[in-house]
Structure 1
């Protein structure tokens, strides 16, 4: 194997195992094959064929055991990964677990995961129960589990298979992925992410996971499983990667790619996990968090910073009026937590400059007073050296000329002034 500074050799496991549980009171009411047949019309190929073949072969086992034979599943972690009170209550009442396990070689398709999840979902549906994904410590209702499987074109949403949890420490946020090991790849991590990038960097991590998983499976495409796959040390991530990972390829914008450097972070404890760390590329000076903020500004380019105009035209005047009319409602939804999940509220405001006002965006972090918004700058301002990416800014609500709700694929709501600028209807100076 050729080792160069451009590639990072990542070890490949010999085989992979998927494990799913179906808690229930009593024993299953129907046989496994009958349960799978009942949902066969909702399974696209190749999943339908894989599930049936693995059930008939040695690569899958389905066993019903007393729940007393198993260690207790941690309810606090299950709750942290989305378990409802009703799901936890059904688990507590269960007397038995149906254990579905499948093994397969690393590569694409991940037959072990697809087949095991399909069979577990079929069994759970036959008893009006739940599926527990042991790898992700997640509850899945049968319908959600079935929807997460490939469609007729073989497409899946990576967010249904890879989670991005995070925690806070003295240096900022620590992000990891949880799910790439399903495919044999090491999990990703990023440390020192600024607090205001919680949602945005989670999306970037998901996009990076999609790009690296594609490189990984291409390296496993041969007839023999290699001992190592060489991943590029400099990985590129685009808005398209993020959009595809979230299942919205038609919504991606034409964003410039960002570079992330891949580093192997081996575990010193044999029981702990090793990671692939995402870092700024060589040549970046300053804290890592500054680069991460700039990367987010590039990837979510539907919000353009540093927009200047001096004499608004009719279209721009109308756009500003529309934005201001909805500002109070945007604040109310922000405070009530009613904005869509995994989104960020941003506002656009003016800074005085020698050539006229400079308009920049900031992510809203708090808005206790109607007149005063506290946020984190989404860009470096030319006219004010104190306004830098990630810096805390205080914005008077009267200075706001636009607002928007940003999701993983760009602007979901608002951004009226940007729409005018993007349309080419720019005001005449």
Structure 2
């Protein structure tokens, strides 16, 4: 194996396994094969064929066990990963578990995961029950589990298979992935992410996971499973990677790629996991957090600052009026945690300058007082050297001229002034 400074050799496990549980009160009413046959015509051929073939092979086992024979699932972790009271209640009332396990070699397709999830979903559907993904410690209803499986072209949404949990420490936010080990790849991590990038960096890490997973499976495409796969030390992430990972390839914008340096972070504890750390590329000046903020600004295009001003009655003026009319409603939704999952609220406001105001964007961290927004700048200002990407800002609501809700694909709501600029209606400055 050739080892160079451009590639990082990542070890490949000999085999991979998947485990899914179906809690139920009593014994299953039908066999696994009967349950899977009920999915004929509803599952894409690649998955339906894999499930039926693996059921007839030693690569899969389906056992019914008394719930007392299985280690107790931690309810606090299940809750942290989205379990509802109803799901936890059905688990507590269950007398038996149907345990679906499958093994397969590393590579694509991940037959162990697809087949095991399909069989578990079929069994759960037969009793109107739940699927428990043991790897992700997640409850899935049968419909959600089936929807996550690949379509006829073998495409999946990576967000259905890889979670991005995070926690806070004195250095900022620590992000990890949870799900890449399903495919044999080490999990990713980033440390020192600024607090205001919670949703944005989760999307970036998901896009990076998609890009690296593609490189990983390309390295496993041969007939023999190699001992190592060489991944590029400088990984690139684009808006397209993020959009595809979220299942919206047609919505991606033409963003510039962002470079991230890949480092192997081996665990010192034999019981702990090793990680692939994502960091700024070599030579980046300043703290890592500033680079992460700049990367998000690059990937989530459409929130650039502008120094154009509206004449009364023109399209820009109407855009500002529309945005301001919706401020009370978007504040209420923000405070009620009513924004879409993984979305972030940003506002555009004016900074005074010698030639007129400069309009910049800021991510909203808190909006407790109706007249004041606490946030972090999403761009470097030209007129005020203290306003830099990631720097804390306090915005008077009277200065807000626009707002937008962003997800991994860009602006999904709001952004009226940006729409005017993108349409080419650029009013001249007035003095």
TM-score range, shorter chain: over 0.9
1:308 to 2:307 alignment: yes
Q: Deviations over 1:383-408 (max 9, x none)?
A: 11111111111111111111111111
Q: Indicate conservation of the 8 Å contact 2:310/2:317, yes or no.
A: no
1:18-97 to structure 2, matched below 5 A, reads 18-97=18-97
Q: Indicate conservation of the 8 Å contact 1:83/1:139, yes or no.
A: yes
**Which stretches in structure 2 are left out of the alignment for 5+ residues?**
none
1:358 to 2:358 alignment: yes
1:30-429 to structure 2, matched below 5 A, reads 30-305=30-305, 307-312=306-311, 314-429=314-429
Q: Offset at 1:217?
A: 0.3
CA distance in 1, matches of 2:30, 2:273: 39
Q: Deviations over 1:253-274 (max 9, x none)?
A: 1111100000000000111000
CA distance in 2, matches of 1:277, 1:389: 23
Q: Deviations over 1:65-120 (max 9, x none)?
A: 11111110000000000011011111111111111011100000000000000000
CA distance in 2, matches of 1:175, 1:258: 18
CA distance in 2, matches of 1:157, 1:297: 24
CA distance in 1, matches of 2:335, 2:183: 39
Q: Offset at 1:41?
A: 1.7
CA distance in 1, matches of 2:21, 2:110: 19
Q: How many residues were matched structurally?
A: 428
Q: Indicate conservation of the 8 Å contact 2:9/2:228, yes or no.
A: yes
Q: Offset at 1:311?
A: 4.8
Q: Offset at 1:54?
A: 0.5
Q: Indicate conservation of the 8 Å contact 1:156/1:247, yes or no.
A: yes
CA distance in 2, matches of 1:19, 1:406: 35
Aligned to 1:4: 4
Q: Indicate conservation of the 8 Å contact 1:253/1:302, yes or no.
A: no
Q: Deviations over 1:106-162 (max 9, x none)?
A: 000000000000000000111111111000000001110000000122110000000
Query: SS where residue 46 of structure 1 aligns?
Result: helix
CA RMSD of aligned residues (A): 0.9
CA distance in 1, matches of 2:374, 2:95: 52
**Which stretches in structure 1 are left out of the alignment for 5+ residues?**
none
CA distance in 2, matches of 1:56, 1:30: 16
CA distance in 1, matches of 2:26, 2:115: 24
Query: SS where residue 92 of structure 1 aligns?
Result: helix
Q: Deviations over 1:181-220 (max 9, x none)?
A: 0000000000000011000000000000000000000000
Q: Indicate conservation of the 8 Å contact 1:323/1:403, yes or no.
A: yes
CA distance in 2, matches of 1:273, 1:57: 31
Q: Offset at 1:356?
A: 2.0
CA distance in 2, matches of 1:96, 1:402: 55
Q: Deviations over 1:299-357 (max 9, x none)?
A: 0012112x011453711111111111111211121122222222111110111112221
Q: Offset at 1:365?
A: 1.0
CA distance in 2, matches of 1:283, 1:40: 55
Q: Indicate conservation of the 8 Å contact 2:300/2:409, yes or no.
A: yes
**What is the TM-score normalised by the length of structure 2?**
0.98
Q: Indicate conservation of the 8 Å contact 2:207/2:241, yes or no.
A: yes
CA distance in 1, matches of 2:22, 2:309: 63
Q: Deviations over 1:268-289 (max 9, x none)?
A: 0111000000000011011111
Q: Indicate conservation of the 8 Å contact 2:235/2:260, yes or no.
A: yes
CA distance in 2, matches of 1:417, 1:44: 43
CA distance in 2, matches of 1:19, 1:347: 44
Q: Structure 1 segments of 4 or more deviating over 4 A?
A: none
